[in-house]
Amino acid sequence: MHVNSSEYCERTLDVILSEGRYQRHLARLRERIGAATLRAQALLDELGASIFVRTPHSLYLWAALPGEPDSLALARELLPQGVVLAPGRIFCVDSAKPSPWLRFNVGALAEPKVRTALLETLRRSPSSGDA
């Protein structure tokens, strides 16, 4: 007789852990996250971004895009295109102060529509010299 979780759940978890499936699953996830992180860093490099910290495995990367002193304005500009960015100022104590930093989801950066939208928006930026 149990007074906590179901015996079925406990036995299932025991099989997952004892047969090594969980470790294999984690190893595959690490590989996928590592590959996604490298692809995201390559795209940010292509965009001329300053990456705050380069790491081999990350779900998120912090970067500042060239000529974009206020990442909130950039995020607002990309929203109608279906691209949602996390501007740095929403993570700050003083959210009224502009920040050039954005938190990018490495998986989202793999989406072709995100790359295209970022490239087109940065080309139109007044600081790019095309305006």
pLDDT above 50: residue 131: no
Length of the chain: 131
Mean pLDDT of 110-115: 93
H or E segment and range at residue 51 = strand 50-51
What is the pTM (predicted TM-score) of this model? 0.79
Pick the CATH number of 36-128 from 3.90.1150.10, 3.40.50.300, 3.40.50.1820, 3.40.640.10: 3.90.1150.10
Q: Angle at CA 129, nearest 5°, toward 120 and 115?
A: 20
Pairing of strands 101-105, 86-87: antiparallel
Pairing of strands 50-51, 60-64: antiparallel
pLDDT band at 89 (very low <50, low <70, confident <90, very high): very high
Report which residue type is found at 131. Answer: A
pLDDT at 52: 97
In the chain, where are the structural domains located?
36-128
Of 3-7, 12-16, 73-77, 100-104, which range is least confident? 3-7
CA distance 82 to 5: 42
Buried b (16+ CB within 10 A) or exposed e, 69-105: eebbebbebbeeeebebbbbbeeeeeeeeebbbbbbb
pLDDT above 70: residue 102: yes
**Closest by Cα among 60, 46, 58, 57 to 118:** 46
